[in-house]
Amino acid sequence: MSKTKKILFLTGTRADFGKIKSLISILEQESDFEVFVFVTGMHLQKEYGYTLIEIERCNYKNLHSFENHTHETTMDLTLAKTIEGLSAYSKTINPDMIIVHGDRVETLAGAIVGSLNNILVAHIEGGEISGTVDELIRHSVSKLSHIHFVSNENAANRLKQMGEINSSIHAIGSPDIDIMFSNTLPNLDVAKTYYQITFDSYAIAMFHPVTTEAKEMERYANDFVQALLDDTHNYVVVFPNNDLGTNTILEAYKKLLDHSRFRIFPSLRFEYFLTLLKNAQFIIGNSSAGIREAPYYGIPIINIGTRQQNRAVHAEIINVDYNLNSISEALKIIDNHQVEKAKSDFGQGNSTALFLEALQNKDTWAINHQKQFRDI
């Protein structure tokens, strides 16, 4: 490349940072790239563990934080505020590319700022389906993006259906698969000591709000918590995303406080979470971790409700509705539910290398900033 390229990564949640961390690190090691990291969203909220601290510990050369939080019920205002902050920051550094991940409102802000300011936008893990408002955001981001780093050929084909040009789509797999099977994960004793988890055995519980079902989330959350209380397993419980309906889940979680079978955390470091997941008896809730990570560790899964209904669902996943009885019945059989480790649908653990290869290719930088629609 003729000159150093400025790459701006945007992260708004603990989950997306876990997936882009290795990509940031690999570019920081390359003299052809100058890396900037814009940190916002849940990272700056104390109630979710103020995970900005974890990012600061990575010692990235150029880190900028921006408080975009307004209120959980106003995703539109959060979008507007993020656009305002990111646009101002972008004008101070003039990036050649903005890289965003997934389907959060901050992701959409990044794509808007880039595409409307003649900056290349690269989207990681576009072309996937879920069945919730997240999917609406994800596909919108794809249409605003110039370059797509997708997790598999199914996702690539969906982008082609949406009129995206073949040469703009790179199937690199999912970066978290690289981390899942790396030899750098902490061992279980280290993870349990770090988080003061004293259980010999435990399950993981993660329950997120579904914004299109916000009016029902209080009942759903109470049934979920009651099912856990009626059960006999130990649980590591992780806070939900900060979407509409979150407060009702957090209110329900208060029933678990000071209970000996529960350890509740606003957030877990991604590598430590993977170690805990790898050694869990099972995972219960509606997190994508039950769809994306757990099957590849051979961990049994109880998937609740609609949040993951259109995602890649393995046959061995126990799918139940939100009803207390349905969840309780699944918990009665989970100890005898045998699963085999799944083969990865999301790459071979070399996503970081494929990502770097694409960015080092001069054709990537020659792509037309004016989006083209390709008819099928």
Given a cut of 90, is residue 200 above it in pLDDT? yes
Given a cut of 90, is residue 249 above it in pLDDT? yes
Given a cut of 90, is residue 179 above it in pLDDT? no
> For the residues 200-221, what does the mean pLDDT come to?
93
Look at residue 348 in the predicted model and tell me its pLDDT.
75
Given a cut of 80, is residue 128 above it in pLDDT? yes
Asked if 149 contacts 355 with a C-beta cutoff of 8 angstroms, the reply is yes
Distance CA 8, CA 129 (A): 26
Distance CA 231, CA 262 (A): 11
Asked if 21 contacts 347 with a C-beta cutoff of 8 angstroms, the reply is no
How, if at all, do strands 283-285 and 203-206 pair?
A: parallel
Given a cut of 60, is residue 11 above it in pLDDT? yes
Sign of the four-CA dihedral 220, 221, 226, 229: positive
- Convert 265-300 to b/e letters by CB count within 10 Å (16 or more is b): bbbbbbbbbbbbbbbbbbbbbbbbbbbbbbbbbebb
Distance CA 159, CA 150 (A): 9
Delineate the domains of the chain, giving CATH numbers in brackets: 5-181+349-365 (3.40.50.2000), 188-336 (3.40.50.2000)
N-terminal to C-terminal alpha carbon distance within the chain: 33
Lowest mean pLDDT of 45-49, 199-203, 206-210, 329-333, name the range.
45-49
Look at residue 33 in the predicted model and tell me its pLDDT.
97
Given a cut of 60, is residue 268 above it in pLDDT? yes
Q: In whole angstroms, what separates CA 73 from the centre of its chain? A: 20
Count CA within 13 A, CB hemisphere, residue 223: 18
Distance CA 321, CA 307 (A): 11
Q: Going by C-beta distance under 8 Å and a sequence separation of 6 or more, which residues neighbour residue 194?
A: 186, 272
Given a cut of 60, is residue 72 above it in pLDDT? no
Write out the two tokens for 284: 């219960």
Write out the two tokens for 58: 């990575």
* pLDDT tens, residue by residue, 294-328: 888 999 999 999 877 666 466 678 999 999 999 99
- Give the Cβ contact number of residue 98 at 10 Å: 29
Task: List the 63-65 sheet strands across, edge first.
Answer: 63-65, 33-39, 5-11, 97-101, 120-124, 147-150, 169-171
Percent of the chain surpassing pLDDT 90: 69
pTM over 0.95: no
